Amino acid sequence: MSRTGILAAFALSLGVAAPAIAQEKLKVGFIYVGPVGDFGWSYQHDEGRKAIEKAFPGRVETTFIENVPEADSERSIEQLARTGHKLIFTTSFGYMEPTLKVAKKYPNVMFEHATGFKRDKNVATYSAKFHEGRFIIGKIAGKMTKTNTLGYVGAMPIPEVIAGINAFYLGAKSVNPNVKIKIAWANAWFDPGKEGDAAKALLDQGADIITQHTDSPAPLQQASARGKLAFGQASDMTRFAPNHIMTSIIDDWAPYYVERTRAVLEGKWQSQDVFDGLAKGKVKMGPYVNMPEDVKTLAEETEAGLKSGKIDAFMCPVVTQDGKTVECKGGDRLTDEQVVSMNFYVQGVEGTIPK
Amino acid sequence: MEMLPFILATVFTAATPLLIAALGEHVTERAGVLNLGVEGMMIVGAATGFAAAVLTDSSVFGIFAGALAGMALSAVFALMVLVFATNQVATGLALTIMGLGLAGLIGQGFVGQPRAAIPPVSIPLLSEIPVLGKAIFTGDFVFFLSLVLIGFVAWGLNRTRFGLLLRAVGESHGSAHALGLPVKRIRLVAILFGGLLAGLAGAYLSLIYTRFWSPGMSAGRGWIALALVVFAGGHVWRLVLGAYLFGGITVAQLHAQAGAIGLPSQFLSALPYLMTIAALLFLSISGRKGAGAAGSLGQPFVPER
């Protein structure tokens, strides 16, 4: 499939429109920020695309364009809209403004933007509570670290990533008050070389556990090469470091994609915002391995607590880096709205958020 | 201080693929041929190298297979620009686009397969020098190969008859032709050498730098290699300096971030590129234009009959 994707990307980048084939099938388009072979973020979205094809045989046709840079995504999105796609999933935060812009021009096309917070009549948003998974791996990391220093490879300083860092740190601190976190930004979602270098820098600075919010298995692999523990991101990355991975945070978009495609087929699609996680199965945890039994039990209990809603990564009071208490809008925890727009580090995280 | 050897080792792995690809392109450009297809040859080298390594279960074999794949792609380029005298810029760009697609195809069945590391090589005695010895004299064999290649290219270009002929062809292919030099044959050798090294650099990416294959994993490193050649302005030593400087800044900025130094990370990420631009400006302002590109760089050679 990646062949078609690459060819499509080239056809589009050269401004060549694919010949429109007249047919009844619903055309569903996808824009990916990395290659489907990243074995992380884009790979999981593509699994969702395949699930649509499987769920509606003969009734839908799907297309994807991979490796679409966020800053230059408008023409790729518009290309899909122009070639008869009626439902378009744009699967990275940076596609937010381009998606809205194209959506204005094509009021009859339905758009679904992942991880964003701006909607329109024909633009829905959806995201997953990855931070729930990060809270769990934070607890594991807090228990497992010997140097009390955790390394975090970040991609871009956007709310989704910031919330992940905070959730991870809060999880770690809840079991280990002395824990410290070091953050290195790769400033790329997908650049295996640089992601790996960032992990190495963190290890050199004394981190003995690596976690990542970038798309390739490189940080995990580099940690493993030094005999250090790490986590998988977006998909189950066990195969890349079977002896050093402790679990993976797995995104499962398939049920949502199938549901939204069905809504379009039945004419019931409406703009909405969906933000769910472990409870609905959109976020799943990989097997808990390479850790002692008590840590595994802690992880499982945390997972169960998050699933039932009994606990939350952001229970009040949440205190920011500079000592201010965040307004508690959700009763005993922060609201989803506060999480998706999070732009502060919690108390104890060092460094400043790159602006 | 105890971090230094580790940091240096990281710098070397980050700089080695850039250095190797840039050395190859340097030779190609000295012969008067501009091959913008480095990124394409690199990624094909990465895909083929990884595929070959998995199929034969030998990463070392994969490294060489990747190099040969880069050379094969450069042969296509040579055919176009030497035989059909096509525009070098357009052909090179086409080569990059084709390479990216081709690599996806070659690597299709190999996505997501991990590979074990190639055991590092230690130079006896030298690697026992305290502090820096271990960092410099312990590494993967391609790193040492790259050191040999630096010497080989510098010596070959400046100290051998063939190097002299190659530079003569690059300076003025018309004059070289009039003197009876086999312009196309010399350029063919230069192009193939460039392809070989670009492929080697690519295989380094997928088998040593990060040990898995993924489409697009070269992430623009071929273009950085091209920029390094410009940065070098015709001097191998400056090319080596540029590659390690680039690798060094890339790694240093990650350390600065991890150490929570209060500089915006986007600025730090852009720093290596800013340095390249600054160096270009400096070279241009200092007015040493004669030391820059080869005289007939980029011009198609069509002998009069």
Q: Using the beta-carbon criterion (under 8 Å), do A201 and B117 form an inter-chain contact?
A: no
Q: Where are the extended beta strands (E) located within A221-353?
A: 229-234, 245-251, 273-276, 283-285
User: B131 pLDDT exceeds 80?
Assistant: no
Cα gap A121→B181, rounded to integer Å = 70
Question: B279 versus B179: which is more confidently predicted?
Answer: B179
Give long-range contacts, CB 8 A cutoff, 24+ apart: A314-322.
A314/A131, A314/A166, A314/A167, A314/A170, A314/A338, A314/A339, A318/A346, A319/A346, A319/A347, A320/A344, A320/A345, A320/A346, A320/A347, A321/A345, A321/A346, A321/A347, A321/A348, A321/A349
Q: What is the pLDDT of residue A332?
A: 92
Q: According to CATH, where is 3.40.50.2300 located in chain A? A: 2-128, 130-250+284-308
3-state secondary structure of A32: coil
Residue whose tokens read 């690697």: B127
Chain A contact for B262, CB < 8 A?
Answer: yes
Nearest CA in chain A to B260: A351
CB B15 within 8 A of CB B9: no
Chain A contact for B71, CB < 8 A?
Answer: no
pLDDT in tens, A329-349: 988 999 998 998 899 999 999
pLDDT grade, residue A319 (50/70/90)? very high
B109 contacts in chain A (CB < 8 Å): none
Cα gap A250→A235, rounded to integer Å = 5
User: A14 pLDDT exceeds 70?
Assistant: no
- In angstroms, the separation between the Cα of residue A154 and the nearest Cα of chain B is 11
pLDDT grade, residue A7 (50/70/90)? very low
Within 10 angstroms of residue A118's Cβ, the number of other Cβ atoms is: 12
The mean pLDDT value for A7-25 works out to 48
Sequence-separated (6 or more) residues with CB below 8 Å from residue B67: B45, B49, B196, B197, B199, B200, B203
Within 10 angstroms of residue A174's Cβ, the number of other Cβ atoms is: 17
For residue A150, which of A140, A159, A141, A158 has the smallest C-alpha distance?
A141
The mean pLDDT value for B131-155 works out to 86
CB A185 within 8 A of CB B257: yes
Which A residues 199-258 touch B at CB under 8 Å?
A: 200-205, 207, 216-218, 221-222, 225, 239-241
Candidates A151, A193, A241; nearest CB to B219: A193
Question: B110 versus B133: which is more confidently predicted?
Answer: B110
Q: Using the beta-carbon criterion (under 8 Å), do B14 and A190 form an inter-chain contact?
A: no
Chain A contact for B211, CB < 8 A?
Answer: yes
CB B10 within 8 A of CB A197: yes
Q: What percent of chain B has pLDDT over 90?
A: 51
For residue A66, which of A84, A85, A92 has the smallest C-alpha distance?
A92
Highest mean pLDDT among A15-24, A185-194, B122-131: A185-194
For residue A216, which of A190, A239, A194, A246 has the smallest C-alpha distance?
A190
The mean pLDDT value for A16-32 works out to 69
Candidates A7, A184, A190; nearest CB to B101: A7
Q: Using the beta-carbon criterion (under 8 Å), do A190 and B205 form an inter-chain contact?
A: no
Q: What is the pLDDT of residue B15?
A: 93
Within 10 angstroms of residue B33's Cβ, the number of other Cβ atoms is: 31
Which residues, in sequence order, are bridge partners of residue A232?
A: A248
Q: What is the pLDDT of residue B119?
A: 80
pLDDT in tens, B43-88: 999 999 999 999 999 999 999 999 999 999 999 999 999 999 999 9
DSSP assignment of B64-102 equals HHHHHHHHHHHHHHHIIIIIS---HHHHHHHHHHHHHHH
Cα gap B115→B133, rounded to integer Å = 28
Which of A2, A70, A183, A210 is best to mutate for the B interface (most B CBs within 10 A)? A2
- In angstroms, the separation between the Cα of residue A308 and the nearest Cα of chain B is 34
The mean pLDDT value for A232-243 works out to 91
Sequence-separated (6 or more) residues with CB below 8 Å from residue A269: A87, A110, A124, A260, A263
For residue B266, CA distances in Å to A71, B47, B160, B259 come to: 15, 30, 45, 15
Nearest CA in chain A to B213: A37
**ipTM higher than the 0.85 cut:** no
What 8-state DSSP symbol labels residue B114?
Answer: -
pLDDT grade, residue B272 (50/70/90)? low
Cite the DSSP H helix spans in chain A: 2-13, 41-55, 74-82, 96-105, 130-144, 159-175, 192-204, 218-225, 254-265, 293-308, 336-340
Domain A2-128 has CATH 3.40.50.300: no
Q: Which helix (H) or strand (E) holds A153?
A: strand A149-154
- In angstroms, the separation between the Cα of residue B102 and the nearest Cα of chain A is 9
Chain B contact for A183, CB < 8 A?
Answer: yes
Sequence-separated (6 or more) residues with CB below 8 Å from residue A293: none
For residue B12, which of B170, B132, B154, B179 has the smallest C-alpha distance?
B132
The mean pLDDT value for B128-149 works out to 81
Candidates A187, A218, A354; nearest CB to B210: A218
Averaged confidence pLDDT in chain A: 90
CATH tag for A130-250+284-308 (out of 3.90.1300.10, 3.60.15.10, 3.40.50.2300, 1.10.357.10): 3.40.50.2300
For residue A52, which of A101, A97, A103, A112 has the smallest C-alpha distance?
A112
Which of these ranges, A15-24, A290-299, B130-139, B210-219, has the smallest mean pLDDT? A15-24
Please state the domain extents for chain B.
Answer: 4-110+133-218
Cα gap A278→A306, rounded to integer Å = 7
Chain B contact for A175, CB < 8 A?
Answer: no
Cite the DSSP H helix spans in chain B: 4-30, 38-56, 59-78, 88-106, 132-137, 141-159, 161-171, 173-178, 183-204, 221-232, 236-258, 265-285
User: A19 pLDDT exceeds 90?
Assistant: no
Chain A contact for B111, CB < 8 A?
Answer: yes
Q: What is the pLDDT of residue B289?
A: 53
Torsion of CA B164, B165, B167, B172, to 10 degrees: 140
pLDDT grade, residue B3 (50/70/90)? confident
pLDDT grade, residue B6 (50/70/90)? confident
The mean pLDDT value for A183-212 works out to 91
Q: Which helix (H) or strand (E) holds B138?
A: strand B138-139
Chain B contact for A321, CB < 8 A?
Answer: no
Q: Which two tokens stand for residue A246?
A: 């402790």
